[in-house]
Amino acid sequence: MADYLLPDDITTLAQRVVEQNAAAGRKVVLAESCTGGLVAAALTEIAGSSSVLDRGFVTYSNESKAAELGVAMDLIEAFGAVSVACVYAMAQGALERSNADVAVAISGIAGPGGGSDQKPVGTVVFARAIRDQAQPEAEEKLFAESSRSGVRRQATLCALELLLP
């Protein structure tokens, strides 16, 4: 295998994402919060990713989610940044602000702090929006990892899976 910056499981999956989306003629866009650009970084590890990756938004703060992706602040105040409502809006905003066919958005609590009884550390919410489809898909996962890096790694793998055609 080539010499990659990121772990083999991530780059192997990223290779599949690039190859399968290129074959399908699809472009992708990412809206990342807790992963901090790791999903886009994984894709750019792969030669030929420029035919697939349109752009990535790293919107870590609530203000950046609003400014860069058009997420309404009242939505964030009502439901929180780690919510299905927020990642729906992030995915839709990323699609609207790109030339991509599919968007994946990620927001979560990687820890070690920031969790609550309702949203413990390891809670990550994902959305996938496909251009010209009415409703994005979303899911919430709880990664029972012992570390911040473990949560971010699992979130990156999950997001890459969502990018497969």
Tens digits of pLDDT across the chain (165 residues): 578 899 999 999 999 999 999 999 999 999 999 999 999 999 999 999 999 999 999 999 999 999 999 999 999 999 999 999 999 999 999 999 999 999 999 999 999 999 999 999 999 999 999 999 878 899 999 998 779 999 999 999 999 999 999
Pairing label, strands 53-58, 28-32: parallel
Contact 34, 109 (CB under 8 A): yes
Q: Which two tokens stand for residue 29?
A: 């866009």
Contact 111, 36 (CB under 8 A): no
Quote the pLDDT of residue 74. Answer: 98
Quote the pLDDT of residue 1. Answer: 53
Cis preceding linkage at 120, omega within 30: no
Pairing label, strands 123-130, 102-108: antiparallel
Q: Which two tokens stand for residue 62?
A: 């609530």
Global confidence as pTM: 0.96
Contact 63, 90 (CB under 8 A): no
Q: Which two tokens stand for residue 160?
A: 């890459």
The alpha carbon dihedral of 155, 160, 161, 165 has a sign of positive
Quote the pLDDT of residue 135. Answer: 83
Contact 17, 160 (CB under 8 A): yes
Quote the pLDDT of residue 144. Answer: 86
Q: Which two tokens stand for residue 7?
A: 């772990």
